[in-house]
Structure 1
Protein backbone atom coordinates (compact mmCIF):
# COMPACT_ATOMS: atom_id res chain seq x y z
CA UNK A 1 0.00 0.00 0.00
CA UNK A 2 1.33 3.41 -1.00
CA UNK A 3 1.94 6.08 1.63
CA UNK A 4 0.72 9.45 0.34
CA UNK A 5 1.84 12.87 1.58
CA UNK A 6 0.16 16.27 1.73
CA UNK A 7 2.26 19.36 2.50
CA UNK A 8 0.56 22.73 2.90
CA UNK A 9 1.58 26.02 4.41
CA UNK A 10 0.13 29.49 4.87
CA UNK A 11 1.23 32.64 6.60
CA UNK A 12 -1.62 34.07 8.67
CA UNK A 13 -1.59 37.78 9.63
CA UNK A 14 -1.94 37.04 13.35
CA UNK A 15 0.40 36.36 16.24
CA UNK A 16 1.54 32.95 17.47
CA UNK A 17 -0.74 32.92 20.52
CA UNK A 18 -3.83 33.68 18.38
CA UNK A 19 -2.90 30.94 15.93
CA UNK A 20 -2.37 28.42 18.70
CA UNK A 21 -5.64 29.27 20.45
CA UNK A 22 -7.57 28.83 17.20
CA UNK A 23 -5.94 25.64 15.89
CA UNK A 24 -5.64 23.89 19.24
CA UNK A 25 -9.39 24.13 19.82
CA UNK A 26 -10.85 21.05 18.03
CA UNK A 27 -14.23 22.77 17.67
CA UNK A 28 -12.67 25.20 15.21
CA UNK A 29 -12.07 22.38 12.75
CA UNK A 30 -15.77 22.65 11.85
CA UNK A 31 -15.12 26.26 10.76
CA UNK A 32 -12.46 25.13 8.30
CA UNK A 33 -14.16 22.20 6.60
CA UNK A 34 -16.32 22.48 3.46
CA UNK A 35 -20.02 22.67 4.33
CA UNK A 36 -20.89 19.70 2.10
CA UNK A 37 -18.87 17.43 4.41
CA UNK A 38 -21.34 18.00 7.26
CA UNK A 39 -18.43 17.87 9.68
CA UNK A 40 -19.52 17.75 13.31
CA UNK A 41 -17.61 17.38 16.57
CA UNK A 42 -19.35 14.78 18.74
CA UNK A 43 -17.04 14.82 21.78
CA UNK A 44 -17.24 17.04 24.84
CA UNK A 45 -14.03 19.03 24.69
CA UNK A 46 -11.90 21.45 26.65
CA UNK A 47 -10.83 24.62 24.84
CA UNK A 48 -7.30 23.36 24.17
CA UNK A 49 -6.00 19.97 23.10
CA UNK A 50 -3.75 17.76 25.20
CA UNK A 51 -1.63 14.68 24.59
CA UNK A 52 -3.75 11.53 24.68
CA UNK A 53 -7.03 13.32 23.97
CA UNK A 54 -9.56 11.37 21.91
CA UNK A 55 -11.91 13.32 19.66
CA UNK A 56 -14.92 11.91 17.83
CA UNK A 57 -16.33 13.53 14.70
CA UNK A 58 -19.12 12.76 12.28
CA UNK A 59 -18.24 13.42 8.65
CA UNK A 60 -19.67 12.89 5.19
CA UNK A 61 -16.67 12.78 2.85
CA UNK A 62 -18.89 11.94 -0.12
CA UNK A 63 -22.59 12.47 -0.73
CA UNK A 64 -24.55 9.59 0.79
CA UNK A 65 -21.56 8.29 2.79
CA UNK A 66 -21.49 9.20 6.49
CA UNK A 67 -18.89 7.91 8.88
CA UNK A 68 -17.48 8.35 12.33
CA UNK A 69 -13.92 9.67 12.62
CA UNK A 70 -12.00 9.21 15.87
CA UNK A 71 -8.61 10.86 16.31
CA UNK A 72 -6.07 10.90 19.10
CA UNK A 73 -3.85 13.87 19.83
CA UNK A 74 -0.57 11.97 20.10
CA UNK A 75 1.87 14.87 20.67
CA UNK A 76 1.54 18.49 21.78
CA UNK A 77 4.20 21.12 22.28
CA UNK A 78 2.32 24.33 23.04
CA UNK A 79 2.86 27.12 20.50
CA UNK A 80 5.02 24.83 18.32
CA UNK A 81 3.16 21.78 17.04
CA UNK A 82 0.63 19.04 17.61
CA UNK A 83 -0.07 15.71 15.94
CA UNK A 84 -3.36 13.94 15.42
CA UNK A 85 -3.72 10.35 14.27
CA UNK A 86 -6.83 8.56 13.11
CA UNK A 87 -7.88 5.64 15.28
CA UNK A 88 -11.07 5.00 13.32
CA UNK A 89 -12.35 6.59 10.15
CA UNK A 90 -12.30 6.83 6.39
CA UNK A 91 -8.57 6.22 5.85
CA UNK A 92 -6.39 3.18 6.35
CA UNK A 93 -3.88 5.57 8.00
CA UNK A 94 -4.06 9.30 8.79
CA UNK A 95 -1.15 11.03 10.56
CA UNK A 96 -1.41 14.85 10.58
CA UNK A 97 1.29 17.14 11.96
CA UNK A 98 0.46 20.84 12.53
CA UNK A 99 3.44 23.21 12.93
CA UNK A 100 3.40 26.89 13.99
CA UNK A 101 6.24 29.37 13.69
CA UNK A 102 6.34 33.12 14.14
CA UNK A 103 7.62 34.86 11.01
CA UNK A 104 7.97 38.48 9.90
CA UNK A 105 4.47 38.71 8.37
CA UNK A 106 2.60 36.75 11.06
CA UNK A 107 2.53 33.03 11.72
CA UNK A 108 3.60 30.26 9.41
CA UNK A 109 1.14 27.37 9.70
CA UNK A 110 2.40 24.14 8.15
CA UNK A 111 0.55 20.88 7.69
CA UNK A 112 2.22 17.58 6.96
CA UNK A 113 -0.13 14.66 6.42
CA UNK A 114 0.79 11.06 5.71
CA UNK A 115 -2.07 8.77 4.75
CA UNK A 116 -3.01 5.47 3.19
CA UNK A 117 -6.24 4.95 1.31
CA UNK A 118 -8.87 2.39 2.33
CA UNK A 119 -10.17 -0.54 0.28
CA UNK A 120 -6.84 -1.96 -0.93
CA UNK A 121 -6.37 -1.97 -4.71
CA UNK A 122 -9.79 -0.38 -5.24
CA UNK A 123 -8.76 2.55 -3.06
CA UNK A 124 -5.45 2.87 -4.93
CA UNK A 125 -7.36 2.91 -8.22
CA UNK A 126 -9.80 5.56 -6.92
CA UNK A 127 -7.11 7.75 -5.36
CA UNK A 128 -6.23 9.92 -8.41
CA UNK A 129 -9.82 10.42 -9.58
CA UNK A 130 -11.80 10.67 -6.32
CA UNK A 131 -9.76 10.64 -3.09
CA UNK A 132 -6.95 13.05 -4.06
CA UNK A 133 -9.33 15.62 -5.62
CA UNK A 134 -11.50 15.48 -2.49
CA UNK A 135 -8.51 16.10 -0.23
CA UNK A 136 -7.41 18.96 -2.50
CA UNK A 137 -10.88 20.53 -2.21
CA UNK A 138 -10.82 20.17 1.59
CA UNK A 139 -7.49 21.99 1.90
CA UNK A 140 -8.61 24.63 -0.60
CA UNK A 141 -11.78 25.24 1.46
CA UNK A 142 -9.64 25.36 4.60
CA UNK A 143 -7.46 28.07 3.05
CA UNK A 144 -10.50 30.07 1.93
CA UNK A 145 -12.10 29.79 5.38
CA UNK A 146 -8.85 30.82 7.10
CA UNK A 147 -8.74 33.90 4.88
CA UNK A 148 -12.35 34.74 5.81
CA UNK A 149 -11.57 34.38 9.51
CA UNK A 150 -8.11 36.02 9.67
CA UNK A 151 -7.77 38.15 6.55
CA UNK A 152 -5.41 37.86 3.63
CA UNK A 153 -2.97 35.00 3.90
CA UNK A 154 0.31 34.39 2.12
CA UNK A 155 1.55 31.12 0.74
Structure 2
Protein backbone atom coordinates (compact mmCIF):
# COMPACT_ATOMS: atom_id res chain seq x y z
CA UNK A 1 0.00 0.00 0.00
CA UNK A 2 1.70 3.21 -1.21
CA UNK A 3 0.76 6.43 0.57
CA UNK A 4 1.51 9.87 -0.80
CA UNK A 5 1.57 13.26 0.86
CA UNK A 6 1.04 16.74 -0.50
CA UNK A 7 2.08 19.77 1.57
CA UNK A 8 1.20 23.30 0.55
CA UNK A 9 2.24 26.37 2.57
CA UNK A 10 1.44 30.02 1.92
CA UNK A 11 1.59 33.18 4.03
CA UNK A 12 -0.88 36.02 3.48
CA UNK A 13 -1.06 39.55 4.90
CA UNK A 14 -4.49 39.00 6.44
CA UNK A 15 -5.79 38.11 9.87
CA UNK A 16 -6.29 34.55 11.01
CA UNK A 17 -10.03 35.28 11.26
CA UNK A 18 -10.20 36.44 7.63
CA UNK A 19 -8.39 33.28 6.53
CA UNK A 20 -10.71 31.09 8.62
CA UNK A 21 -13.84 32.79 7.31
CA UNK A 22 -12.76 32.07 3.74
CA UNK A 23 -11.36 28.54 4.16
CA UNK A 24 -14.10 27.17 6.40
CA UNK A 25 -16.84 28.10 3.92
CA UNK A 26 -17.19 25.13 1.52
CA UNK A 27 -18.74 27.40 -1.13
CA UNK A 28 -15.32 29.04 -1.56
CA UNK A 29 -13.88 25.78 -2.88
CA UNK A 30 -15.34 26.68 -6.28
CA UNK A 31 -13.33 29.94 -6.23
CA UNK A 32 -10.01 28.10 -5.76
CA UNK A 33 -10.68 25.09 -8.01
CA UNK A 34 -9.74 25.19 -11.71
CA UNK A 35 -12.75 25.52 -14.01
CA UNK A 36 -11.74 22.49 -16.08
CA UNK A 37 -12.54 20.33 -13.04
CA UNK A 38 -16.25 21.06 -13.36
CA UNK A 39 -16.54 21.48 -9.58
CA UNK A 40 -20.12 21.75 -8.33
CA UNK A 41 -21.44 21.42 -4.77
CA UNK A 42 -24.54 19.25 -4.58
CA UNK A 43 -25.33 19.29 -0.87
CA UNK A 44 -24.07 19.99 2.64
CA UNK A 45 -22.35 23.35 2.25
CA UNK A 46 -25.16 25.58 3.47
CA UNK A 47 -24.20 25.74 7.15
CA UNK A 48 -21.26 26.65 9.35
CA UNK A 49 -18.66 23.89 9.38
CA UNK A 50 -19.03 21.20 12.06
CA UNK A 51 -17.61 17.73 12.79
CA UNK A 52 -19.72 15.11 11.03
CA UNK A 53 -20.77 17.44 8.22
CA UNK A 54 -21.04 15.65 4.87
CA UNK A 55 -20.47 17.66 1.70
CA UNK A 56 -21.27 16.24 -1.74
CA UNK A 57 -19.61 17.48 -4.92
CA UNK A 58 -19.39 16.64 -8.57
CA UNK A 59 -15.83 16.91 -9.84
CA UNK A 60 -14.00 16.04 -13.04
CA UNK A 61 -10.45 15.19 -11.89
CA UNK A 62 -9.37 14.06 -15.37
CA UNK A 63 -10.76 14.60 -18.87
CA UNK A 64 -13.74 12.35 -19.58
CA UNK A 65 -13.97 11.24 -15.92
CA UNK A 66 -16.68 12.84 -13.76
CA UNK A 67 -17.20 11.55 -10.23
CA UNK A 68 -19.33 12.26 -7.21
CA UNK A 69 -17.08 13.09 -4.25
CA UNK A 70 -18.39 12.97 -0.68
CA UNK A 71 -16.26 14.37 2.12
CA UNK A 72 -16.84 14.43 5.84
CA UNK A 73 -15.54 17.18 8.08
CA UNK A 74 -14.12 15.03 10.87
CA UNK A 75 -12.36 17.59 13.08
CA UNK A 76 -12.83 21.33 13.64
CA UNK A 77 -10.95 23.66 15.97
CA UNK A 78 -12.61 26.94 15.06
CA UNK A 79 -10.07 29.43 13.74
CA UNK A 80 -7.18 26.93 13.93
CA UNK A 81 -7.73 23.85 11.78
CA UNK A 82 -10.17 21.45 10.23
CA UNK A 83 -9.91 18.03 8.60
CA UNK A 84 -11.90 16.64 5.71
CA UNK A 85 -11.86 13.00 4.69
CA UNK A 86 -13.20 11.46 1.51
CA UNK A 87 -16.02 9.00 2.11
CA UNK A 88 -16.74 8.31 -1.58
CA UNK A 89 -14.72 9.46 -4.57
CA UNK A 90 -11.71 8.90 -6.78
CA UNK A 91 -9.14 8.03 -4.09
CA UNK A 92 -8.76 4.99 -1.84
CA UNK A 93 -7.78 7.43 0.92
CA UNK A 94 -8.00 11.23 1.09
CA UNK A 95 -7.24 12.84 4.45
CA UNK A 96 -6.87 16.62 4.15
CA UNK A 97 -5.75 18.76 7.08
CA UNK A 98 -6.03 22.58 6.90
CA UNK A 99 -4.03 24.55 9.49
CA UNK A 100 -3.93 28.28 10.21
CA UNK A 101 -1.18 29.89 12.25
CA UNK A 102 -0.93 33.55 13.15
CA UNK A 103 2.43 35.13 12.32
CA UNK A 104 3.81 38.61 12.93
CA UNK A 105 3.36 39.44 9.24
CA UNK A 106 0.01 37.71 8.61
CA UNK A 107 -1.25 34.15 8.63
CA UNK A 108 0.28 30.87 7.51
CA UNK A 109 -2.05 28.51 5.67
CA UNK A 110 -0.80 24.94 5.62
CA UNK A 111 -2.50 22.07 3.79
CA UNK A 112 -1.38 18.49 4.40
CA UNK A 113 -3.06 15.83 2.27
CA UNK A 114 -2.34 12.14 2.79
CA UNK A 115 -3.77 10.06 -0.01
CA UNK A 116 -3.73 6.62 -1.62
CA UNK A 117 -4.74 5.69 -5.13
CA UNK A 118 -7.03 2.83 -6.14
CA UNK A 119 -6.03 0.02 -8.52
CA UNK A 120 -2.93 -1.21 -6.64
CA UNK A 121 0.25 -1.25 -8.70
CA UNK A 122 -1.57 0.31 -11.67
CA UNK A 123 -2.51 3.30 -9.49
CA UNK A 124 1.10 3.59 -8.33
CA UNK A 125 2.31 3.55 -11.94
CA UNK A 126 -0.20 6.29 -12.86
CA UNK A 127 0.79 8.51 -9.95
CA UNK A 128 3.88 10.30 -11.34
CA UNK A 129 2.46 10.80 -14.83
CA UNK A 130 -1.16 11.62 -14.14
CA UNK A 131 -2.25 12.10 -10.53
CA UNK A 132 0.81 13.92 -9.16
CA UNK A 133 0.89 16.31 -12.13
CA UNK A 134 -2.84 17.05 -11.80
CA UNK A 135 -2.57 17.69 -8.04
CA UNK A 136 0.39 20.02 -8.68
CA UNK A 137 -1.74 21.96 -11.20
CA UNK A 138 -4.72 22.14 -8.83
CA UNK A 139 -2.69 23.39 -5.88
CA UNK A 140 -0.69 25.81 -8.06
CA UNK A 141 -4.05 27.22 -9.20
CA UNK A 142 -5.16 27.53 -5.57
CA UNK A 143 -1.92 29.31 -4.73
CA UNK A 144 -2.51 31.76 -7.58
CA UNK A 145 -6.17 32.43 -6.69
CA UNK A 146 -5.45 32.87 -2.97
CA UNK A 147 -2.64 35.29 -3.83
CA UNK A 148 -5.04 37.27 -6.05
CA UNK A 149 -7.56 37.42 -3.20
CA UNK A 150 -5.25 38.13 -0.26
CA UNK A 151 -1.94 39.43 -1.62
CA UNK A 152 1.57 38.39 -0.69
CA UNK A 153 3.99 38.85 2.17
CA UNK A 154 7.45 40.05 1.18
CA UNK A 155 10.09 37.38 1.72
CA UNK A 156 7.58 34.53 1.96
CA UNK A 157 7.67 31.99 -0.85
CA UNK A 158 4.85 29.47 -1.30
CA UNK A 159 5.87 25.83 -0.90
CA UNK A 160 4.30 22.84 -2.64
CA UNK A 161 5.73 19.35 -2.05
CA UNK A 162 4.47 15.95 -3.13
CA UNK A 163 6.19 12.81 -1.89
CA UNK A 164 5.72 9.15 -1.13
CA UNK A 165 5.46 8.32 2.56
Does TM-score exceed 0.5, indicating one fold?
yes
Q: Specify every segment of 5 or more residues in structure 2 that has no aligned partner in the other structure, as ranges.
A: 159-165
- Please report the TM-score for the alignment, with normalisation by the length of structure 2: 0.91
**Over the residues paired in the alignment, what is the CA RMSD in angstroms?**
1.1
- The number of residues matched between the two structures is 155
Distance in structure 2 (CA, Å) of the matches to 1:47 and 1:106: 27
Preserved CA contact (<8 Å) 2:85 2:96: yes
Shift of 1:121: 1.4
Runs of 4+, deviation exceeding 4 Å = none
Shift of 1:63: 1.0
The answer to which of 114-123 and 87-96 deviates more is 114-123
Q: Specify every segment of 5 or more residues in structure 1 that has no aligned partner in the other structure, as ranges.
A: none
Preserved CA contact (<8 Å) 1:56 1:69: yes
Shift of 1:116: 0.1
- Per-residue CA distance 1:22-61 (angstroms, 9 max, x = gap): 0000010111011110111111433421110000000001
Preserved CA contact (<8 Å) 1:53 1:73: yes
Distance in structure 2 (CA, Å) of the matches to 1:145 and 1:90: 24
2:43 — aligned with what? 43
Distance in structure 2 (CA, Å) of the matches to 1:24 and 1:74: 13
Distance in structure 2 (CA, Å) of the matches to 1:47 and 1:21: 13
1:91 — aligned with what? 91
- Please report the TM-score for the alignment, with normalisation by the length of structure 1: 0.96
